[in-house]
Structure 1
Amino acid sequence: MDTDRQATLTAPAQAAPLCAVPRRGRPRSEAAEQAICEAVERLMTEGGSLADLTIEGIAQAAGVGKATIYRRWPNKEALLVDVLVRLEEPEPLLPGTSARDDLVVILDFMRRRGLAKRSRWVLRVVLDQMHSMPALKEVYYEQVVLRRRRAIHQVVARGVAAGEFRADLEVELLAEMLIGPMLLRSVLWDDSPLDDPELPATIVDSLLDGLRGPAHSAGTV
């Protein structure tokens, strides 16, 4: 793992969000950007679909010119991904105190995101409709999903290196085992309870009883 990146994940004062939308080099007007994103959400609330949205329609609803949108986003897919990220739960800062603590924060983010999807109609519709738009789904996967996936893998790899987790399993498999229960509840099983704020710690600590490395085994100082 890159030393600078590891320091970012481990030092609380420098911790980075689990996922952040890449900043663009050109200075941007927050007011115009806010108006554009709110226009997309308003159009969806009024019964529109992602497939029917156009740059022209969004610009008209936001009261800006098409050029204003294109200065900020290269295409409709990039704009919609940014709007979707804004609709989701804020991405957390990882404390960096231990891999266990970081994973609890990550799972709590997934829990809150699942609750938001259940309670916010627009968010649910956007996430559901995204799957019927391959270009949008690809951009979201590359800019958001892969970023979150890498962050989780880095946390788990750090846990293996520190002896918090077993070293005889692949990092990817360990990550899937650790986030799988929350992923099922927050994405696939909509009737599973997510209200308990202690659920992330319960999941992580229960799994770690069987995944701990030798440095953290029972009776080891």
Structure 2
Amino acid sequence: MDDELGHRITDAAWRMLAEKPLAALTIIEIAESAGTSRPAIYRRWHSVEEIVIDAFLHHVEGAVQTDDALAPPDALRNYIVSLGRFLGGRVGRVIAEILGRAQSDPGLMERFHAGFLRRRRDSGRSLIARGQQEGHFRADLDSELIIDLYAGPIYFRAFARHAPLDETFTRSLADQVLLAIGTRTGSAEGAG
């Protein structure tokens, strides 16, 4: 399958996800929307979920990056707020659906981790390490714990939808995280 046809298929699936949930998508509908056939799709993908994960990864590539030009507390604050914005809408719904399906599909879960989650966690680890080296963040804290401290509440609100995932929440979360991980001098710089 050529790249152009592959992009047409993943773009069609992504467009359709704006109108219906993953559970309602079919290979036939995606093929018709992409102007191709089911056999052409099956040459590359074995399920709707595989198409959707590729569509998702293509459309979110480069989203939610850390800004290395900013001081670590400011960069982390901006990152937390942008992650909340990113997961607060359609993307959060799609991730929740993908992860729901991936619970019984280890291959799908691995593709999600490799293509999306690991990159964000690697970026977070680099930012935290820089903040620790520069004395902004406590050196005694594990970076994985810090990432879970800010990402956990955002993902939970995105998936459970028990409370709004809005900028008020993410700014407050960022302030609390910076307070918890900051050194005495570093936390004062980043607060506010």
Aligned in 2, Cα 1:171/1:92: closer, same or farther, shift over 3 Å? closer
SS at match of 1:208: helix
TM normalised by structure 2 equals: 0.70
Does the 8 Å CA contact 2:92/2:158 hold for their aligned counterparts? no
Aligned counterpart, 1:171 = 143
Does the 8 Å CA contact 2:132/2:138 hold for their aligned counterparts? yes
Following TM superposition, by how much is the alpha carbon of 1:164 offset from its aligned partner in structure 2, in angstroms?
Answer: 0.6
Alpha-carbon distance in 1 for matches of 2:82, 2:71? 17
Following TM superposition, by how much is the alpha carbon of 1:41 offset from its aligned partner in structure 2, in angstroms?
Answer: 4.2
Match for residue 99 of structure 1 among 64, 72, 75 = 72
Following TM superposition, by how much is the alpha carbon of 1:151 offset from its aligned partner in structure 2, in angstroms?
Answer: 1.2
Aligned in 2, Cα 1:48/1:91: closer, same or farther, shift over 3 Å? closer
RMSD: 3.8
Does the 8 Å CA contact 1:88/1:113 hold for their aligned counterparts? no
1:181-200 equivalences under 5 Å are 181-187=153-159, 189-195=160-166, 197-200=167-170
Aligned counterpart, 1:22 = none
- 1:95 is aligned with what amino acid? D
1:75-118 residue CA offsets vs partner (Å, 9 max, x unmatched):
65654322123566971342220222222232223312332149
Alpha-carbon distance in 2 for matches of 1:151, 1:165? 16
- 1:200 is aligned with what amino acid? T
Name the count of aligned residue pairs: 184
Query: Which one has a larger percent helix, Structure 1 or Structure 2?
Result: 2
SS at match of 1:108: helix
Does the 8 Å CA contact 2:87/2:158 hold for their aligned counterparts? yes
Following TM superposition, by how much is the alpha carbon of 1:178 offset from its aligned partner in structure 2, in angstroms?
Answer: 3.4
- 2:66 is aligned with what amino acid? L
Bigger Cα displacement from structure 2, 140-149 vs 130-139: 130-139
Aligned in 2, Cα 1:203/1:129: closer, same or farther, shift over 3 Å? same
1:1-221 equivalences under 5 Å are 28-29=3-4, 32-41=5-14, 49=23, 58-59=30-31, 61-64=33-36, 79-85=51-57, 91-96=63-68, 97-117=70-90, 125-187=97-159, 189-195=160-166, 197-216=167-186
Aligned in 2, Cα 1:129/1:87: closer, same or farther, shift over 3 Å? farther
Identical aligned pairs, as a percentage? 24
Does the 8 Å CA contact 2:77/2:174 hold for their aligned counterparts? yes
Alpha-carbon distance in 2 for matches of 1:60, 1:155? 44
SS at match of 1:82: helix
Segments of structure 1 that go 5 or more residues without pairing to the other structure are 1-26
Aligned in 2, Cα 1:109/1:131: closer, same or farther, shift over 3 Å? farther
- 1:110 is aligned with what amino acid? L
Aligned in 2, Cα 1:163/1:80: closer, same or farther, shift over 3 Å? same
1:106-136 residue CA offsets vs partner (Å, 9 max, x unmatched):
222331233214996x665445334343321
